[in-house]
Amino acid sequence: MGVITDNLGLWGEALCGTLVLFLAGGAVAIVLGVVVGAMRVSPVPIARAIGAIYVNWIRNTPLTLVMFFFALCLPILLQQRIDAMPLAIGAIGVYTATYIAETIRAGVNTVPVGQAEAARALGLTFGQVMTLVVLPQAARSVIPPLMSVLIALLKNTTVAAGFSVLNLGSIRSWLSERGADRLVVLLWVMVVFVVLVLLLAWLQRVIENRWKVTR
């Protein structure tokens, strides 16, 4: 326990960094993923093509390379210095959005086609059909896979440790400089991640049980 009690400030900053990456990156990923997922099922061929290119390109690129692009290339393209944290959030969000988009697309495909056709027959636009008819029904079926994606996002935050972002993935190197046992630090990091994942699993059960009542 001395590894934690003697370095509470550093552990707090590392945990805060991980949570910021997870929450902010998750928000970016969900918003972008819903948009791209809607494009993937859009009746407009250009929208479907753009969505397919984005998903297949980014999803098949390692997260580390996406991080490198945001950390090294983006500041050059924008011609200004950007802090490491926003760049890491953007990289994680853009990368995870591809998986959320595919999850949304799979959920949309579970909704009977007649639902969308009936909505269009009433004069609703594509955006209204998606937001008012399709997505609310698809949301129930995408909760389990969506939480799996978010759990993967939480663990992927450790990649940002290699890009000067303080989080639980980088605390080992910080504490090793203070003489702490690396193995003990790694074990405690594992414990923290297990707790965080269990919290997400609990949240998933709560949402699923609440939505079961409303069916």
Other CB atoms within 10 A of residue 191 CB: 11
Query: Residue 111: is its pLDDT beyond 90?
Result: no
- pTM (2 decimals)? 0.84
Tens of pLDDT, residues 145-201: 899 999 999 999 999 988 888 888 888 776 766 666 677 778 888 899 999 999 999
pLDDT for the residue 132: 78
Long-range contacts of the stretch 113-116 (C-beta < 8 A, 24+): none
- Domain map of the chain by residue range? 2-214
The more confidently predicted of residues 215 and 180 is 180
- Mark residue 210 as left, alpha or beta (left: phi above 0; alpha: psi -120 to 50; beta: remaining): alpha
Task: Tell how far CA 31 is from the center of its chain.
Answer: 10
Closest CA to 4 of 193, 197, 186, 196: 186
User: Out of 7-11, 70-74, 76-80, which region has the weakest mean confidence (pLDDT)?
Assistant: 7-11
Amino acid at 30: I
177-180: list long-range contacts, CB under 8 Å, 24+ apart. 178/7, 180/3, 180/7
Identify the pLDDT of residue 213.
45
Residue 62: per-residue pLDDT: 92
pLDDT mean across residues, the chain: 84
pLDDT at 52: 92
Q: How far apart are CA 70 and CA 66, in angstroms?
A: 6
Nearest alpha-carbon partner for 87 in 78, 214, 9, 62: 78
Homologous superfamily (CATH) of 2-214 is MetI-like (1.10.3720.10)
Rounded Cα gap, residues 66 and 96, in angstroms: 11
To the nearest 10 degrees (0 to 180), the angle between helices 135-156 and 8-40 is 140
Higher pLDDT, 53 or 133: 53
Cα separation, 141 vs 136, whole angstroms: 10
